[in-house]
Amino acid sequence: MSKPIFLSAREAAAELGVQPATLYAYVSRGLISSVAGPGKKRRYDAADVRRLKGRRDAEEPGGARPLTGDPVLETELTLISEDGPFYRGRSAQVLAETSTLETVATLLWQSAEDPFEAEAPEAPPALPEGLGALDRLMMALAAWPLQDKAAYTQAPKLLNVKGAALLRYGVAALLDTKPVTTPVHSQVAAAFGAPANAKTLIRAALVLCADHELNTSAFAVRCAASTRAPIHAALLSGLGAFTGPRHGAASDRATAWLNGIGPDADIEIVLSERLSRGETLPGFGHTIYRERDPRADHLLAMLVKSEPNDPLVRALPRIVEVARDLYGVSPNIDFALAALQRAYGLPKDAGKILFCAGRIAGWIAHALEQYAAPEQIRPRAAYVGERPE
C-alpha cells in the first residue's frame, strides 16, 4: 500500500485540470517528480500531483480544502479515467459485456478461491412491514451478528467468504427475498418480474455500479474499516452515506422527471421549462468526469441496441442532445439506471436497488483493502471559526 503510484501525462494533467504544457512546467519547477516510463513517455508521481492539486484548490477563493496535504488514500481497486473505471486494471465496460457481479467481486477482493462456493446464509429476521429497500438492508445488516457468530472476525482467510455471504444477504434484504446461490442478476430480474431481455442489462448495470474509487460511501466504509469495525458495520457506514439524494438516491430523482416525458412530449419544451424554473437535471453531469460518464454511455448503448422500438429508448438521443444544449452536461449512471427502469417497466426504486446491490461488492472490497492498511483514517479540519483572545 506504500509503494509510489505514477500517472501518465494525460492522467496527471486531467487530475490537475491543466494542459500538458502546464504539467511540464510544474515538473521543471520541481513541484512534480517524474520517472522514465514505457517507450519515450514519462510517468508522474501521483502523490505530488494530488498534493499540488490540494494546495491550488485551497488557495482558490471559496475553494475546496484537501482533507490532508497529501492524497487521502492509496488504492489498488479502481482507477478512474476519462475512459471509465478500471477494476484492478480491467475496464468496467469490457467486464460489463459478459461478467457477473460475483466474478467482479472476486476480482476486486483478490480472492484466490471462489468465495461464492459456500452455501447462502440464512434470511434476515422478520423486519417491520412498509420499510423501503435501503431501510430493510440497514436493519438486516444490524442483525447480521445474530446468525454469524464470527461476525466480528478480522481473520483474512475468512473475510472473503464472509463478504460473499454478506453480498447475498444484502441483496436478499434489498429485494425482500431469501438469500440464494443464484447469480445476483438473475435474482434481481426475477424479483423485479423483468422481461427476459432485461436480464443482460441488469447484469451489466450491476457490474458498472460495483465500484467508483473513493466516492462518499466508499470513504465512509474505509473510515469504519480503519477502526477495525467488522464488515457488516463498515457496510452500514457506507449505506448511511449512500441513502442521500446526492448519491445512491440520485436515480430516484432522475426517474421522477423522466417519468414526466410521455411518448408525444416536446422534450425541448419540458427541459426548457425546468431550466426556466431554476431546476437542476438529476442524472446529468458528474463531479469526476469532465465530459461524459462512460458507464452511462455503455449502458444506454446496450439499451438502445436491445430495445430499438421502445418509445422512450427512441427518445433517448434527443433527450441527451437537448440536455447538453440547455444544461451543458451529459448523462451519468443515474440517468442510465432510470432509463433502464422506465424502458422495462421495472418497479419503483429499481434503479436505486441495482446501484446499491452492485456497490455492496465495492464496499466490501474497500473494507478488505483498508483492513490491510495499518493507518486509522483521521483527516484534519481547516478551522475557520472564532479564535480565542
pLDDT in tens, 101-112: 999 999 999 998
Q: Could you report the per-residue pLDDT of 221-252, keeping only the tens digit for each?
A: 999 999 999 999 999 999 999 999 888 888 89
Last residue of a domain, which of 19, 52, 71? 71
CA-to-CA distance for 319 and 259, rounded, in angstroms?
13
Residue 157 lies in a domain: yes
Looking at residue 40, what is its pLDDT? 76
* 200 and 345 co-located in one domain: yes
What total number of domains does the chain contain? Answer: 2
* 63 and 152 co-located in one domain: no
Q: Produce one character per residue of 13-26: b if its CB has 16 or more CB atoms within 10 Å, e if not.
A: bbbbebeeeebbeb
Residue range of the domain that includes 196: 100-381
Residue 90 lies in a domain: no
Looking at residue 272, what is its pLDDT? 94
Residue 264 lies in a domain: yes
* 262 and 166 co-located in one domain: yes
* 58 and 125 co-located in one domain: no
Contact 81, 65 (CB under 8 A): no
Contact 334, 295 (CB under 8 A): no
**Taking 60 as the threshold, does the pLDDT of residue 32 lie above it?**
yes
Positions marked catalytic: 286, 334
Left if phi > 0, otherwise alpha if psi is -120 to 50, otherwise beta: which for 213?
Answer: left
Residue 88 lies in a domain: no
Contact 101, 77 (CB under 8 A): no
Residue 52, H or E segment: helix 46-59
CATH number for the domain that contains residue 171: 1.10.230.10
Residue 317 lies in a domain: yes
Last residue of a domain, which of 23, 52, 71? 71
* 22 and 107 co-located in one domain: no
Please compute the mean of the pLDDT values over residues 162-178 and round it to a whole number: 97
* 150 and 286 co-located in one domain: yes
CA-to-CA distance for 102 and 184, rounded, in angstroms?
8
* 62 and 141 co-located in one domain: no
* 20 and 158 co-located in one domain: no
Looking at residue 1, what is its pLDDT? 46
78: β partners: 87
293 grid coordinates: 460518464
Residue 389 lies in a domain: no
Q: Could you report the per-residue pLDDT of 93-102, keeping only the tens digit for each?
A: 999 999 999 9
The share of the chain scoring above pLDDT 90, in percent, equals 69
CATH number for the domain that contains residue 49: 1.10.1660.10
* 203 and 105 co-located in one domain: yes
Looking at residue 356, what is its pLDDT? 97
The band of 66, judged by pLDDT with boundaries at 50, 70 and 90, is: very low
Residue 1 lies in a domain: no
Please compute the mean of the pLDDT values over residues 124-150 and round it to a whole number: 94
Q: What angle do CA 364, 370, 371 make, to 5 degrees?
A: 90
Whole-prediction pTM: 0.82
* 57 and 11 co-located in one domain: yes
Q: What is the CA radius of gyration of the chain?
A: 22
* 137 and 41 co-located in one domain: no
Last residue of a domain, which of 53, 71, 89? 71
* 27 and 176 co-located in one domain: no
Q: How many CB atoms lie within 10 A of CB 327?
A: 15
Total residue count of the chain as it appears in this document: 389
The closest of 198, 199, 197, 195 to 182, measured between CA atoms, is: 199
Looking at residue 69, what is its pLDDT? 36
Strands 34-36 and 6-7: unpaired
Residue 76 lies in a domain: no
Scanning the structure block, which residue is given the C-alpha cell 452500514? 236
Looking at residue 51, what is its pLDDT? 80
Please compute the mean of the pLDDT values over residues 9-29 and round it to a whole number: 85
